[in-house]
Structure 1
Amino acid sequence: MSLLSKKLGLDYKSSLVGLGFDGASVMSGGISGVQKRIKEKALFAYYVHCCGHKLNLVLTSVAKNVPQASEFFSLLEEVYIFASNAVVHEKFLSIQREMFPEEHIREFQHLSDTRWWCQATSCDDALLRLECIIRLLKETSADDTGARAVSARGLLAQMDPEFVCLLQFFSEILGKINKVSHWLQDKQADLGKAAKLISCLREDLADVRNSNLIENYSNMVDELSVTLPVTSASCERCFSKMKIVKTFLRNSMTSERLSNTALLSVESKRAESIDLDSFVDEFDSRHDNCRIKLH
């Protein structure tokens, strides 16, 4: 922190006003967590729990504590596992090509407690390809024998009207939540807009339920709300990118090259917008190797 402050020419002890982490105790702990240790030196720093992580925690808790939701997602996961079998998967793709020849192939996603976009994507795909799923289960139960046929019959028996209603319901609800979740992971987001967005989401969900149990969030429009961080998701992507960039074959690259390569990978959208001709001209004017002829 001190080295970064010197490099940027800032005094973090007096300038730092916001910290954004996930809820892990090593980061958010009030006794010996990172935020506590930083606040001991930067007295004006205020800790904000990543809004993207908080939304994910709420969804996970609700899904586990509401029996209908828990059973629905368990069934959806079983469909994914069944369709992941090599033989079944190939048959599922063939059915999609036959029934929807003009549309792209849809694949089921493994459901994860930490990536709720998987749930939203799986619900959309299952809803759009419900006819294919039913046909797949019927053909498998009729043509195959053994454990695969038994699994197909069991899944088919649970594809009742209640499942279809829940599929439609969660597809609509998770579609709304997924849009908010993606926005909360934007590093340009500020706390005031995040509060308004979550407030709108709560109102939409209240309208779906026809209930007034959830009160609207108050609008946070002061200057501090624009300064405080909203999410740490984009920072955490750097660790995933490092694993992709620094492979076994690239194990000897220097820290500076790793940092620069990872930066290009993380900021891929900005990197793609670079004018390569200008980049080559700039590199040609700086390098001293006469054996490299760029023009």
Structure 2
Amino acid sequence: MNAPGNNQMIAPKIQTQLVNACAVETTNVILADLGDRWFTLLLDEAHDFHVATTTAACLKEAIDSLFAKYGLSVVRLRGQGYDGASNMSGEFNGLKSLIMKENSYALYVHCFVHQLQLVVVAIAQANQYVIDIILHEMDSRFSETTTDLLIYMSCLDLKNSFSRFDVQKLVRLAHFYEDDFSWNECMLVEQELETYIDDLRSDERFEGISDLGALEKKMIETMKNHMFPLVYRMIELALLLPVATATIERVFLTMNIVKTYLRNRIGDEWMNESLIIYIEKDVFNTVDNELILQHFQNMEFRSMQLSRIRL
């Protein structure tokens, strides 16, 4: 290259390729961290992205394509979180039903925040016999399976020295996931739960922990995930249940930062890659710069080889 000073890397094509390289390497780190573990699917509608139609079949095809692209298996899916639209939550032809036909353990949960909002709206409109209306609306909005799951998982709550802890309800939780707990494990889980609660109540290291995420981390730090593997498995499943779609709502807010007035014609692919980098900035910051440079360099022939970044 005769004029290396002109290599400013600001051409639109170069910028797009750099963003793609960053997004791909960030995604690879996330997928490597996920490995063969369980995961949850959250989905919502945004006007800034485009699909052919929003029918359940079309959305299922898009999800299958996404899973195939990243090597994900629907067998490892342990939760679905959508709104209550018929194309999403329909009992026969909704997206959740299409997925549960392939994996019955991919339990669907209609976002609790949305459901509570619908209950409040119904009560405000009725404005009479409030208690009866509340009970009726709660029963009609929250399915029996969803309610049972919420009750059982609340038994893992740490507050007030595990005051909600209930061995029998947690045993029922294990039976919800028969594919993840063998017959022998279902027989052993009750005894392990009783030993687990006695151990944690006497361990000062678990004082002050207020949520399941912190409990999971502390169990790993203290190696209790190996001492109580069945209980730890329950905690993992409880954390996967999508009780709210707040994560997606935050993504929608992020779109306003990425897709500005000056970038209002940004395409779906570039938008998606930009969002990955911004939302997963903590993961992106751990990616080796050399991996990104090599990925960018190998995209096509370059008249100039990029030099290694020196910090």
TM-score, reference length from structure 2: 0.37
Larger Rg over CA atoms: 1
